[in-house]
Amino acid sequence: MKRIRNKIIVLNLISVLICTPIAAGIVVFFASNQQSNAMGLTMSGRKLVYLVACTALLTALMQTCIVAIISERKIIPQIRRYISGVSNRAYRDPLTHVRNKAAFTDTMEELRKHMDAGERDFALLMMDLNNLKEINDTYGHDCGDDYLISSCRMICQVFRHSPVFRIGGDEFVVLLQNEDLRNHESLLAELDRRMSMTQDEEEVWRRISIAKGIAFCTDKDDVPLAVFRRADGNMYRNKDEMKRSAYNRSKKSS
């Protein structure tokens, strides 16, 4: 923003340099058309003041026009890009770069409007990363961040046609519509396949494990929050199943 302000100052100085000679030329032109005597110009002081005032006003108007024209082409697009960048950062998670909770809140409001209009062709996929707290406590937050980023990257690669939101420390939501909604079963299977391929990694924080729950919008739902709550409940049931399965495997191996 400081760079934009400096450019505006430079443009103002340029406009002054352009307008001042023009204004001076106007004064000289009018003065040269008046009869002179031994004392100089014959016009009265009042007329001279009036002429100078009009010239100053013309200079200001010309300066404003020049700045407006140049700004429209150079400065205003930069300001728009700056505002767009600020808005984009406000709706992005700084770690994973997917959309954040504020963006999800706005999306839920948009979904509510669509539901009021009778458009209910969507599903919400709730996800929770397993073992994040243990990784943070045992190996440090750098490894925890690596786990978050890798998990989020996998989610985005599988659901590449859908917006992904990070709404909590280890919680993500995917809004399924259109192609990803129609292919949700194969996409969920693909996510499971990719997670299973990481289980032989040497570093614990590279073994991705994600609990998930999906819920579809129905005619019985009056608000998107009802869909979200069902997805959240399904996710926690899946999380419990994954814990029991892990416990049974460890018990058998011992």
Map out the domains of the chain as residue ranges. Answer: 2-86, 92-253
Asked if 87 and 102 touch (Cβ cutoff 8 Å), the reply is no
Residue 100's pLDDT is: 97
Cα Rg, the chain, nearest whole Å? 33
Asked if 59 and 23 touch (Cβ cutoff 8 Å), the reply is yes
pLDDT tens for the chain, 254 residues: list them.
556 556 555 656 665 566 666 655 655 555 555 544 444 445 555 555 556 666 666 666 666 666 666 555 655 555 555 454 545 668 999 999 999 999 999 999 999 999 999 999 999 999 999 999 999 999 999 999 999 999 999 999 999 999 999 999 999 999 999 999 999 999 999 999 999 999 999 999 999 999 999 999 999 999 999 999 999 999 999 999 998 887 777 677 66
Residue 37's pLDDT is: 46
Cβ neighbours, 10 Å, residue 183: 15
Sign of CA dihedral 225, 226, 231, 235: positive
Residue type, 31: A
Residue 245's pLDDT is: 84
Residue 39's pLDDT is: 45
Residue 41's pLDDT is: 47
CA–CA separation, 215 and 103 (whole Å): 20
Residue 253's pLDDT is: 67
Residue 247's pLDDT is: 73
What is the DSSP-derived secondary structure letter of residue 220?
T
Nearest Cα neighbor of 216 from 167, 254, 177 is: 177
CATH of 92-253, one of 2.60.40.1080, 3.30.70.270, 3.40.50.2000, 3.30.450.20: 3.30.70.270
Terminal CA-CA length for the chain: 62
What is the reported pTM? 0.68
